[in-house]
Amino acid sequence: MIQVLLFLLLAVLLLFLLLLPVMVHDGTSFVTREYTVRSDRVRGSHTLVFLTDLHGKIYGGDDAAVLRAIRDAHPELAVAGGDLVTASEADPDRKEWYRGAATLLEPLAGKLPVYLCLGNHERKIADPEEGKEICWEQYCRFLERLGIRIHRNDHTSLEEAEGKTQISCADSGIDLWSFEAGREEFQRCRKHRITREDVAERLGNPDPERFHVVVTHHPAHFDACAAWGADLCLCGHIHGGVMRLPGIGGVISPDFVLFPKYSGGKYEIHFDRSGRRVWSSGRVFSPQKTPPVPAGGRRSVMVLGCGLGFHTIPIRIFNPAELSVIHIEETEKENEGESASGYFPRGCRISAAEGGGWNQFR
Ligand SMILES: [Fe+2]
């Protein structure tokens, strides 16, 4: 018996030593992943960067590499999907407890509009029951100084989200929504019960003529948001599932769910003309296996970012952090005869902002 235990201990130790370089690499670097979604309700071609689950991490002391990657994606908008800060670090006596978020957001704001929604950590800090009101006020004041507004169960068009930016877009047909479920929906080991009706109760009804991007932190709410009418959901929270396995996806979520159905990447649900769900991509998206959407039906896509940082389980194995770049485009057919406007996305113009320039991004 002792020999078996010793053998198991040695095997675990060996595995740990073999995986150590992967853990160090994946825990200290990030990749840029690009996703494209097309719809005939979109006009032109638009690019967003999606930042989620930073958890205060700073790459290289000043985030220069992340900012370069954002600049190189030529986005019109940065969407922050929650958990840029960590609730346990929120301490009014600790100066700049939100330094990680500040390092990334300060150079971004002013160059790009930032559409910011809350994750479970921001919500915890904002909750009066947690006794962190001073921290929440500090963070809100900081965001206000940058001209960044917090979005909670509201919506705006892509054009209205511009803020202090160099780029302004012609009518894109795109609406941005934020959906927040109750805090109890983030409790560990909980079965999620958000329904289409819950989403409609908070957001109202979607305009069938518009393309709806819904930012909701927890991917468990994708099915309900899709049934409500979301064309694209942007989610985070799962951090890629700590370790990623081919054909399976992530191993464990921060909620301690083993092999979560949604752990990172792109997912798709199809509905028929009557709104009945007829197909879903399951835990791993495969473009080869995706059937056409039924005539008169619609598709709903989720991009689940693997996050830029980590928390709860501070390990990444075959699961580097991710900067998500989302392209939202007109369907190919409708694009015929149009040409891209070069450096900036089609449908956008560059205003002569004083002293502006993407080169000023670090
Ligand atoms: Fe989260």
Enumerate domains of the chain plus CATH numbers: 34-348 (3.60.21)
Distance 58 CA to ligand 1 centre (A): 18
The pLDDT, as a whole number, for residue 169 is 57
Nearest of 235, 228, 226, 222 to residue 202 by alpha carbon: 228
8: confidence class by pLDDT, cuts 50, 70, 90: confident
Please determine, for residue 353, whether its predicted confidence score (pLDDT) is greater than 50.
no
Q: Quick one: angle between helices 99-108 and 64-72, nearest 10?
A: 40
> Does residue 23 have a pLDDT over 80?
yes
Q: What does the pLDDT average to over 303-316?
A: 92
The mean pLDDT of 149-164, rounded to a whole number, is 81
Per-residue pLDDT, 283: 83
Q: Rounded to the nearest whole angstrom, what is the distance from the C-alpha of residue 256 to the centroid of ligand 1?
A: 12
Mean pLDDT for the stretch of residues 327-345: 52
Q: Within a 10 A sphere around the Cβ of 166, how many other Cβ atoms?
A: 20
Tokens of 246: 């081919």
* Token duo for residue 256: 């301690």
63 CA from centroid of ligand 1 (Å): 21
**For residues 41 and 330, what is the distance between their CA atoms, to the nearest angstrom?**
7
Give 36's contacts (C-beta < 8 A, 6+ positions apart): 326, 327, 328, 329
| pLDDT, position 354 | 30
Listed as own residue / partner, the contacts of 131-135 with beta carbons closer than 8 Å and 24 or more positions apart are: 132/87, 132/90, 132/92, 134/92, 135/90, 135/91, 135/92, 135/97
What local confidence, expressed as pLDDT, does residue 11 receive?
Answer: 87
pLDDT band at 115 (very low <50, low <70, confident <90, very high): very high
* pLDDT value at 343 more than 50: no
Lowest mean pLDDT, pick from 24-33, 154-163, 263-272: 154-163
Cα 24 to ligand 1 centre (Å)? 22
Distance 237 CA to ligand 1 centre (A): 4
Measured in whole angstroms, how far is the alpha carbon of residue 155 from the centre of its chain? 16
Q: How far apart are CA 77 and CA 82, in angstroms?
A: 15
Ligand 1 centre and the CA of 201: distance in Å? 23
